[in-house]
Amino acid sequence: MHLDNLIQRFQNKDKAAFETLHNMYAENICGVINVILKDPERSQELCQDVFVKIWNKSDQYDTSKGRFFTWILNIARNTAIDELRSKSHKNQKKNLPVDSLVGIYENSEDLNGKIDTIGLQSLLKGLKDKCILLIDLLYFKGFTQKEAAKELKTPIGTIKTRIRSCISEIRKNLPQ
């Protein structure tokens, strides 16, 4: 089924369409939350919360928000970051640990084998730390291009070309 049609049905409160979308993206949403929280059990709970939010906010999605996955990715990040802030009482995005993906990549044993460590390591194989850091900021923390540039003290143009190159590296690592 075409994705646009599926989203249309979901926005008309079709639970079967909602289930299909859930099956397509639930593990990804849970993965993003887990990278931020590094707490598998809490991540599973918040993942469900995110899908409840998605259902309740379904009418708020439109194409100006980008891809459907991008929209729910944004909701998931905000939910996880809110959780992190409520725990750490830190109110600024910059105060969040910036190395979450790097940390998971380097210390994946800490998650007690609950995640696909081998898969993650094979995807990130050969990537430089600054690449992993940029992926973390843009995909897992929801930084804008401008915020990422400021955080990494790098020109905006460089952020754009670097993320292109970093994602391309991962694409090379994708199982064929």
Partner 1 sequence: MDVKEYIASGILELYVAGALSPEENLEVQHYALQHPEIQKEIEAIEETVLQLTRTASPKLPKDNFNEILAQLDDVIPFKPEASKKRTPWGSYLGWAAAVLLAVGLFGLYLENNKLKTEIEITNQERENLEEILSTTQERVIDKEALLQQLRDQNVTVVALGGQAVSPDSYAKAYWNREESKVIIDAQGLPEPPPGYTYQVWSLKLSPLTPTSIGLLEDFATADSKLFSLPNPNESEAFGITLEPEGGSETPTLEQLYTLGAVGA
- 59: alpha, beta or left, given left = phi > 0 and alpha = psi -120 to 50? alpha
Please provide the DSSP assignment of 68-101 as one string: HHHHHHHHHHHHHHHHHHHHH----GGGS-TTHH
Please identify, using beta-carbon distances, which residue of 3 and 95 lies nearer to partner 1. 3
Stretch that binds partner 1, among 4-12, 15-23, 80-88, 89-97 (CB under 8 A): 15-23
State in angstroms the smallest separation of the CB of 139 from partner 1: 5
For partner 1, what does the binding mask look like between residues 56 and 95, x meaning CB under 8 A?
A: x------xxxxx-xxx-xx---------------------
Dihedral of the CA atoms 88, 116, 67, 169 (nearest 10)? 100
SS3 content of the chain, % helix, strand, coil (to 5): 75, 0, 25
**Could you list the residues that contact partner 1 (CB under 8 A)?**
15, 19, 22-23, 25-32, 34-35, 40-41, 43-44, 47-48, 51-52, 55-56, 63-67, 69-71, 73-74, 104, 111, 114-117, 119-120, 123-124, 135, 138-139, 142-145, 148, 159-165, 167, 170-171, 174
